[in-house]
């Protein structure tokens, strides 16, 4: 779900600016742009890479996780 959220955030026009405006209003921040804005393609690529790493570890460690969960519930 986080991957889809990031893709939509960086690919839909105006979404990032709208999110910044909501954050500024919610947290009473001064009106300013993010100091470092990376290119959209790079942000999407980083999102895919970080998600792929997380999914890799979730899938390869699934058996040990399930065993620990069963042991914890006994």
Give this prediction's pTM.
Answer: 0.49
pLDDT tens for the chain, residues 1 to 74:
677 777 777 778 888 788 778 877 888 766 665 555 667 678 778 888 988 998 899 899 999 888 988 998 88
Domain region containing 16: 2-73
Could you give the maximum distance between any two Cα atoms of the chain, in Å?
A: 53
What does the pLDDT read at residue 37?
Answer: 66
Q: What's the number of domains the chain is made of?
A: 1
């Amino acid at each position: 779900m986080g991957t889809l959220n990031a893709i939509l955030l960086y690919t839909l026009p105006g979404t990032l600016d709208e999110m910044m405006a909501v954050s500024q209003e919610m947290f009473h921040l001064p009106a300013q742009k993010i100091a470092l804005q990376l290119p959209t393609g790079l942000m999407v690529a980083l999102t895919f890479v970080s998600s792929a790493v997380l999914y890799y570890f979730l899938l390869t460690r699934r058996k040990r996780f399930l065993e620990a969960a069963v042991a914890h519930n006994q």
